[in-house]
């Protein structure tokens, strides 16, 4: 056996956004010595595009394991948030009041109904309640709902949190656990070195026993360096935020939610625009128009901010969690639901990384699924 060279860290996590921070937090709780390598102030930062939802309904059509993974995270979220609060004093305002996805035509209702039916008919899929509601049923819960809302799909497991407080709580927790957060450390290359890995950056080299690539869009470039594949692409989404308003909306309503601070967040849109995050007034206008159809009262509120951010999308939209076969100890973790899955990343994924390998249940999330030609 060759002597293993001493590494600076047990694990280097490449990426300090929602995914990287949650994994690093979980690793620290397992007693691992961790470094996070992050970029500087101006970086793509897809985490900025999050909608702060902890959302279950509708997820997993095409990959039933994802439905289970999502529900598991949602069920763990309250405990996760309690741990964060205990450790850092920050309440990330997790609420699970149930969520509505508004449907604005009979066609949408039919489409959604079929979608959810197919999802829940998948063999081995996890069971949980959901309902298709008509306008009257929605109005009972939210009397101010617009008349254009024909119905909604409702799930009692849907919720939301304050994602900025989440990121802050994670970073404070990381700091308290002695995790080294290294900004301005964009990873140029990852090399195998002396039984571990070396991350080569402009600010110097960082050595670790294991490496987790949680670098959002940069995963595409980095994964092959460790024998993995993360074929992610950017998808632009716009978000609108209004001025702080007295609480009137308890439930997250798909792409409309009121934050604990009072502002109303309104989304969502989907564009292939490469890495361009220029805000298009025509898109935000369409988003605004739809929101007013759903809640007419929103029309009089002032828009305080808009922004566009880039989702990190795999070819089927489901996460990739995988350990490299050719370079054991190298992992990739990528998804576009970094808030919903934060609890899992911290409490269900990190312990396996700490132990050194991912069990069988993660096979479904391997990127090799993209190599298999689809059955006719």
* Residue 172 CB, nearest approach to another protein (Å): 7
Question: Is the torsion defined by CA of 93, 12, 38, 190 positive or negative?
Answer: negative
Distance CA 146, CA 296 (A): 6
> Cα 44 from chain centroid?
15
Helix (H) or strand (E) holding 119: helix 106-121
Give me the half-sphere count of Cα atoms (radius 13 Å) on the Cβ side of residue 368. 9
Alpha-carbon distance of 346 to 23, in angstroms, equals: 5
Could you list the residues that contact another protein (CB under 8 A)? Answer: 16, 38, 40-42, 48, 108, 111, 164, 167-168, 171-172, 175, 181-184, 238, 240-246, 248, 261-262, 266, 268-271, 278-292, 297-308
160 touches 257 (CB < 8 A): yes
Map residue 102 onto helix, strand or coil.
strand
Is the CB of residue 188 less than 8 Å from the CB of residue 215? no
Q: Closer CB to another protein, residue 208 or residue 229?
A: 208
Three-state secondary-structure class, residue 235: strand
Taking the least distance from each CB to another protein, the nearer of 62 and 224 is: 62
Of the pair 175, 361, the CB lying nearest another protein is at 175
Region of residue 355 (left: phi > 0; alpha: psi -120 to 50; beta: else): alpha
Tell the smallest beta-carbon distance from residue 154 to another protein (Å).
16
C-beta closer to another protein: residue 141 or 271: 271
Rank residues 57 and 366 by Cβ distance to another protein and give the closer one. 57
Alpha-carbon span 53 to 62, nearest angstrom: 21
Nearer to another protein (CB atom), residue 122 or residue 306 = 306
- Work out how close the CB of 323 gets to another protein at its nearest, in angstroms, rounded to a whole number: 28
| Sign of the Cα pseudo-torsion (272, 273, 275, 277, in order) | negative
Does residue 256 contact residue 295 with C-beta atoms inside 8 Å? yes
Q: How far is the CB of 104 from another protein (least distance, A)?
A: 9
> Closest CB to another protein among 5 and 105?
105
Cα–Cα distance list, 202 to 38, 39, 209 (Å): 12, 11, 20
Alpha-carbon distance 124 to 120, whole Å?
9
CB atoms within 10 A of CB 317: 16
Closest approach, Cβ 284 to another protein, in A, equals 6
Q: Min. distance of Cβ 364 from another protein in angstroms?
A: 23
Q: Which is nearer to another protein, 168 or 369 (CB)?
A: 168
Min CB(55)–another protein separation in Å = 14
Distance CA 148, CA 146 (A): 5
**Least distance CB 333 / another protein (angstroms):** 21
DSSP 186-202: -EEEEEEETTEEEEEET
In angstroms, give the least distance from the CB of 164 to another protein. 6
| In the complex, minimum distance from the CB of residue 116 to another protein, in angstroms, rounded to a whole number | 13
Is residue 157 within 8 Å of 57, Cβ to Cβ?
yes
Residue (224 or 299) nearer to another protein, CB: 299
Q: Which CB sits closer to another protein, 228 or 239?
A: 239
């Amino acid at each position: 056996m060759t002597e293993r060279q001493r590494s600076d860290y047990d694990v280097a996590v490449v990426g300090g956004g929602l995914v990287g921070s949650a994994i690093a937090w979980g690793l620290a709780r397992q007693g691992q010595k961790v470094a996070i390598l992050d970029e500087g102030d101006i970086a793509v930062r897809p985490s900025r595009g999050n909608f702060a939802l902890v959302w279950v309904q509708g997820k997993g059509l095409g990959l039933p394991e994802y439905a289970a993974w999502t529900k598991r995270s949602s069920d763990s979220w309250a405990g996760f948030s309690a741990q964060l609060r205990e450790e850092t004093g920050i309440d990330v305002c997790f609420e699970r009041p149930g969520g509505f996805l508004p449907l604005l035509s009979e066609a949408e209702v039919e489409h959604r109904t079929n979608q959810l039916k197919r999802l829940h008919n998948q063999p081995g899929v996890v069971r949980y309640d959901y309902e298709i509601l008509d306008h009257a049923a929605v109005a009972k819960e939210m009397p101010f709902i617009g008349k254009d809302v024909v119905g909604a799909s409702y799930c009692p497991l849907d919720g939301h949190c304050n994602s900025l407080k989440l990121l802050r709580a994670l970073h404070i927790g990381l700091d308290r656990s002695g995790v080294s957060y290294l900004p301005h450390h964009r990873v140029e290359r990852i090399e195998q070195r002396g039984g571990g890995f070396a991350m080569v950056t402009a600010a110097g080299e960082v050595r670790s026993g294991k490496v987790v690539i949680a670098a959002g869009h940069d995963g595409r470039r980095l994964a092959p360096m460790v024998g993995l594949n993360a074929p992610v692409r950017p998808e632009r989404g716009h978000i609108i935020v209004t001025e702080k308003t007295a609480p009137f909306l308890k439930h997250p309503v798909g792409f409309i939610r009121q934050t604990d601070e009072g502002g109303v967040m309104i989304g969502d849109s989907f564009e292939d625009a490469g890495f361009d995050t220029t805000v298009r007034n025509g898109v935000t206008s369409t988003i605004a128009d739809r929101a007013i159809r759903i809640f007419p009262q929103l029309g009089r509120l002032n828009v305080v901010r808009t922004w566009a951010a880039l989702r990190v999308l795999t070819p089927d939209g489901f996460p990739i969690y995988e350990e490299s076969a050719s370079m054991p100890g190298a992992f990739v973790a990528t998804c576009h639901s970094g808030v919903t899955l934060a609890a899992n990343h911290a409490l269900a994924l990190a312990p396996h990384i700490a132990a050194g390998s991912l069990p069988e249940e993660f096979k479904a999330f391997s990127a090799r699924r993209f190599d298999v030609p689809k059955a006719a």
